Amino acid sequence: MPNKEMPIPEWLEKIRAINPEEACIGRTIDLQGEKNGPRIFLRMSGKTVSYQELAENARRAAGAFYQIGISRGDKVAIILPNEPEYFYAWFGLCHIGGIMVPVNTGLKGEGLQYILDHSDSRAVVVHERFWPALKPIYPELKKINHLIYQKESDSPSSPIPSQAILWEEFIETSPHFPSLGIKGSDPGQILYTSGTTGRPKGVIIEQARSILSGIRVACVSQSTSSDTLYTALPLFHVNAQHVSAWAAIMANACLAISDRFSASRYWQEARQFNATRVSFLGSMMSILYNQPLKADDLDNPVKIAMSAGTPPAIWEKFESRFGLRILEYYGTSEGGLLLNEIGGRIGSMGRETPLYEARIFDPNDNDLPPGEIGELVFRASSKTAKMVEYYKNQEATEQKVRGGWLRSGDMAYQDSDGYFFFVDRKTDYIRRRGENISSSDIERVINSHPHVLESAAVAVPSQLGEDDVKVCVVLHPGVSVTPDELIRFCEDRMARFMVPRYLEFYDSLPKTTTEKVVKGGLKRISGNTWDHSKRLRNNEKI
């Protein structure tokens, strides 16, 4: 099997120089506060926070949590927007060995209740704008003893729940707490997966992993104290946490965050923050690339875009249009890592690193040769890289890691030089007429149509067995295209078995807060679904 090793990178040398047990978040934030003092850590619209202020407020939060009875091993759910308070609560908990449970702010009802119950959270920190989702289920949350409530800054007179502690009062507690001998191997958070294949699973992430990830990203992105790392992703997501926030901290750099991703204002915000490094998920890049050309596209300070899932078809065009270089990588909440060097193989997720071995397995766990598509799997090869552990779910842990190999759930292949290439999510693979089809291959073709903004290809049951292909399409505003025109476009550019049977036009696609398309609800055939098999072309039924 290919194993073209990269030279020992700078980031690994730095990581190896650190005792993981000493890589504690609270201690690290204290040290960075002492070293950087008034240097700006965080920029937001109308707000700045220095490294010294970060350290001081984290200690105040630690004292406040300890005073209400939170200590080592206790879980606290955080339902906050992208605000400085997110860091104060998270890092404060780590000072005393508490465990943050970051909650997707879009959750409500039974999905929200499940995570709060399953995580055994003893307290919840919630922002006023998310209280309407929490309020109906709060009486049922028997394990939660404390509600800490952050008000909107522009609504000081609005009422607060009678059982709540106001954040502004909570944080004024004395910043003193006992030394609890916290170690880097102590959990820093339990991060719940999206639950696309069943109930969400809580990934236990040690404090050291955040710090070591920050070192790695800071080094490979060549970030220094003069850089500003910008993200529009939510802080409850590991990408914003590790690729942006912790990379900025370990580079002594500035972090800039916005409240949400907006394609229309993205580059304006990048200029406003003087951002030199940005972080993307692949769908965000497609959305930005499909925006109308502007005369000032090149007029931005960004030098490097760290990306997971850059569409190969737009890779070089994106770099040229916006005047930056793409640093591609692959990683999951559970672990596993691939890195592409700047200027590396176009379209590749990268090569394996000294932290993890990576392989391509067939369904029987056999190694596949270069060019063959199978499941991407990982095995930790360094003491600083640990395999996944799901909270209170040993069965899922054992299914995820079998025979020492972590199953990514992604289909990929490796070339003869050791570079890995993403094909599709295993659950999104389509089987039609005896052929395996990558939904992303179909989407790439559809998205290349000049009138298409984005699309999602899904499998729907076929009367003949196996699957038929449905494509859900969003057009650019103010343009139109007929189903027949789009089908002809596909027939000229893809194999016959890939041409979709069904088309449906949408105003927008359902997405997670990290801009991933939620495909489950798109598989329904409705009165708005156009069925190409009922049309005749060339006297032949398709």
Write down the domain spans for the chain. 47-182, 429-541
pLDDT (average), residues 513-541 = 75
Lowest mean pLDDT: which of 44-53, 223-232, 507-516? 507-516
Q: Which residue has the higher pLDDT, 15 or 140?
A: 140
CA dihedral 527, 533, 537, 542 (to 10 degrees): 150
Contact 387, 417 (CB under 8 A): no
Dihedral of CA 105/110/115/120: which sign?
Answer: positive
- List of residues 6+ apart from 421 with CB closer than 8 A: 347, 348, 349, 412, 413, 414, 415
Count of Cβ atoms closer than 10 Å to residue 529 Cβ: 16
pLDDT tens for 163-178 read 999 999 999 988 889 9
Amino acid at 222: Q
- CA 202, 66, 235: angle at the middle one, nearest 5? 40
The pLDDT assigned to 542 comes to: 31
Domain 429-541: CATH superfamily is: ANL, C-terminal domain (3.30.300.30)
pLDDT grade for 39, boundaries at 50, 70 and 90: very high
What's the rounded Cα separation, in Å, for the pair 271 and 246? 22
Mean pLDDT throughout 477-483?
93
Which residue has better confidence, 386 or 414?
A: 414
> Is it the case that residue 427 has pLDDT exceeding 90?
no
pLDDT value at position 116? 98
Predicted pLDDT at 59: 97
Could you give the 3-state DSSP secondary structure of residue 520?
Answer: helix
Q: What is the pLDDT, as a whole number, of residue 6?
A: 52
pLDDT at site 195: 60
pLDDT per position as a tens digit, 295-322: 999 999 999 999 998 988 899 999 999 9
pLDDT value for 18:
83
- Whole-number Å distance between alpha carbons of 197 and 217: 29
Confidence of residue 196 (pLDDT cuts 50, 70, 90): low
The DSSP result for 377-428, as a single string, is: EEEE-STT-----BTT-HHHHHHHEETTEEEEEEEEEE-TTS-EEEEEEGGG
Q: 388 falls in which pLDDT band (50, 70, 90)? A: very high
**Residue 281 reports pLDDT greater than 90:** no
CB–CB of 78/101 below 8 Å? yes
DSSP assignment letter at 528: T
Task: Name the percent of the chain lying above pLDDT 70.
Answer: 95
Amino acid at 323: G
Identify the CATH number of the domain defined by range 47-182: 3.40.50.980
pLDDT band at residue 107, thresholds of 50, 70 and 90?
confident
What does the DSSP assignment read for 287-345? HHHTSPP-TTTT-S---EEEEES--GGGHHHHHHHHT-EEEEEEE-TT--EEEPPTT--
Q: Residue 240: which pLDDT band, with cuts at 50, 70 and 90?
A: very high
Classify the C-alpha dihedral 465-517-315-375 as positive or negative: negative
Query: Which residues, 6+ apart, have CB-to-CB distance to 335 below 8 Å?
Result: 356, 378, 380, 385, 386, 387, 388, 406
User: Residue 198: its pLDDT value, please?
Assistant: 66
More confident residue, 46 or 454: 454
Confidence of residue 385 (pLDDT cuts 50, 70, 90): confident
pLDDT, average across residues 260-273: 95
* Res 432 pLDDT > 80: yes
Q: 40-54, 468-482, 485-499, 512-526 — which is least confidently predicted?
A: 512-526
Average pLDDT in the 50-60 region?
A: 98
> In this model, does residue 122 exceed pLDDT 90?
yes
Taking residues 255-275, report their average pLDDT: 95
Backbone angles phi, psi at 224, to 5 degrees: -130, 180
Q: What is the mean pLDDT of residues 366-389?
A: 90
Contact 212, 185 (CB under 8 A): no
Contact 502, 528 (CB under 8 A): no
pLDDT confidence of residue 516 = 79
**Would you say the CATH fold of 429-541 matches that of 47-182?**
no
Min mean pLDDT across 232-241, 324-333, 494-503 is at 494-503
**SS3 for 25?**
helix
Instruction: Identify the residue whose tokens are 């005792």.
Output: 19
**Statement: residue 5 has pLDDT above 80:** no
User: pLDDT band at 7, cuts 50/70/90?
Assistant: low
What pLDDT shows up at residue 160? 87
3-state secondary structure of 227: coil
Mean pLDDT of 484-505: 91
pLDDT of residue 537: 40
